C-alpha cells in the first residue's frame, strides 16, 4: 500500500504540489466501500456484484477528492498545502461522522483476498508502479508534469495545458489513495474511519528520500520504489527491536531530516 500511495504522491510532487489528504481519502474510501458491500447493512449485501461495486465506489471517492483538490488549486489559485490540508480535515471528519466512529466488518471474502493475499497485493502495486513509471517517462503527459514542476508559467506559455494537467495529477493521487485503501481494508478485513491515519509521514518521507524534489520538476517512480523499500526496512527493523511507536516516529523524523 505504501508504494501505491507514494506513486501517486510522486506525480503531485513532480508537478510542484503536495497532497496531504491521501490518508483521509484512504479512510473515507474504506468506509464508503464497506457501506456498499458489507454483509449486514450494505446496500448490496451478499450480492454477487457487491465487491466490484464496492471497489468502484472506493475509486470514485478517491477520484472525487483528487478532482476537488485540483480544481480548488487551479481555479481558486490557492496553495496546494492549504487546499489539501483543508481536504484532509474535512474528509477525515466526514468519515468519522458517516460511521459514528464505528468500524465496519462483514466484508466479502473475495474483496479481503485482494489485500490479504500478499501475491495479489504485490501484483496490484507493481502494476500501478510500472504504469506510473511509463506514464511519467515515456508519454507526453509525463513531460507536461515535469514542465509544470519546473516552471508552471513558462509551461503554460509554451502551450502546456497546465490547469488540466494539475487536476489530472491530483486525481491520480486520489485514485492511488483509494487503491491503497482497498489493500489496507482487505488486509484488516474491516473498514475504519481512521484507517491509514499514521502513514502520511511515511508517504512523503519515502517519496522525498527517494530523490523526488519538493520544489517540483524532478522525480521518478523508480526512485520512489527505493525510498519505499528503505522506509519499510527501517520500520520492520525498529519493530523487531521492540521499540515503541513513538520511538519509531522519532527515528523516522530524524532520518527524513
Chain segment 141-167, per-residue pLDDT in tens: 999 999 999 999 999 999 999 999 999
Helix extents (H) in 76-194: 80-99, 109-116, 118-138, 140-150, 152-157, 162-188
Q: Does the pLDDT value for residue 46 go beyond 90?
A: no
pLDDT digit string, tens, across residues 213-223: 888 888 899 99
* Predicted TM-score (pTM) above 0.85: yes
Please give the share of the chain, as a percent, with pLDDT higher than 70: 100
Please give the Cα distance from 34 to 195 (Å, whole number). Answer: 13
Residue 249 has what pLDDT? 86
Q: What mean pLDDT comes out for the span 241-255?
A: 87
Residue 170 has what pLDDT? 97
Residue 17 has what pLDDT? 93
pLDDT digit string, tens, across residues 197-213: 888 888 998 999 888 98
Please give the Cα distance from 85 to 81 (Å, whole number). Answer: 6
Q: Does the pLDDT value for residue 100 go beyond 80?
A: yes
Q: Which of 39-53, 82-96, 234-248 has the highest mean pLDDT?
A: 82-96
Residue 82 has what pLDDT? 95
Q: What mean pLDDT comes out for the span 107-136?
A: 92
180 neighbors 5 (Cβ within 8 angstroms): yes
Phi and psi at residue 170, in whole multiples of 5°? -70, -30
Q: Does the pLDDT value for residue 58 go beyond 90?
A: yes
Phi and psi at residue 45, in whole multiples of 5°? -55, 130
Mean pLDDT of the chain, nearest integer: 92
Q: Does the pLDDT value for residue 235 go beyond 90?
A: no
3-state helix, strand, coil in the chain (%, to 5): 75, 0, 25
Nearest-CA neighbor of 167 among 55, 80, 248?
80
**CA of 11: how far to CAs of 69, 80, 149, 198, in Å?**
14, 14, 10, 21
Rg, Å, the chain Cα set:
18
Of residues 8 and 198, more confidently modeled? 8
Please give the share of the chain, as a percent, with pLDDT higher than 90: 66
Amino acid at each position: 500500500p505504501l508504494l501505491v500511495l507514494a506513486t501517486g504522491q510522486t506525480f503531485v510532487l513532480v508537478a510542484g504540489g503536495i497532497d496531504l489528504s491521501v490518508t483521509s481519502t484512504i479512510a473515507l474510501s474504506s468506509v464508503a466501500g464497506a457501506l456498499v458491500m458489507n454483509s449486514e447493512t450494505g446496500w448490496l449485501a451478499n450480492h454477487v456484484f457487491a465487491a466490484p461495486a464496492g471497489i468502484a465506489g472506493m475509486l470514485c471517492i478517491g477520484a472525487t477528492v483528487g478532482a476537488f483538490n485540483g480544481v480548488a488549486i487551479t481555479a481558486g489559485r490557492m496553495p496546494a498545502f492549504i487546499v489539501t490540508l483543508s481536504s484532509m480535515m474535512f474528509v477525515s471528519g466526514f468519515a468519522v461522522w458517516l460511521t459514528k466512529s464505528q468500524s465496519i466488518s462483514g466484508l466479502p471474502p473475495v474483496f479481503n483476498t485482494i489485500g490479504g493475499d500478499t501475491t495479489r497485493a504485490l501484483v496490484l502495486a507493481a502494476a500501478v508502479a510500472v504504469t506510473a513509471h511509463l506514464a511519467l517517462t515515456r508519454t507526453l503527459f509525463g513531460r507536461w508534469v515535469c514542465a509544470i514542476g519546473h516552471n508552471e508559467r513558462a509551461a503554460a506559455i509554451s502551450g502546456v495545458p497546465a490547469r488540466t494537467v494539475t487536476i489530472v495529477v491530483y486525481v491520480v493521487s486520489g485514485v492511488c489513495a483509494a487503491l491503497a485503501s482497498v489493500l489496507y481494508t482487505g488486509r484488516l478485513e474491516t473498514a475504519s474511519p481512521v484507517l491509514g491515519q499514521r502513514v502520511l509521514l511515511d508517504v512523503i518521507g519515502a517519496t522525498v528520500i527517494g530523490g523526488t524534489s519538493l520544489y517540483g520538476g524532478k522525480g521518478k517512480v523508480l526512485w520512489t520504489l527505493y525510498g519505499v523499500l528503505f522506509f519499510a526496512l527501517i520500520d520492520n527493523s525498529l519493530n523487531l527491536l521492540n521499540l515503541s511507536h513513538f520511538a519509531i516516529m522519532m527515528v523516522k523524523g530524524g532520518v527524513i531530516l
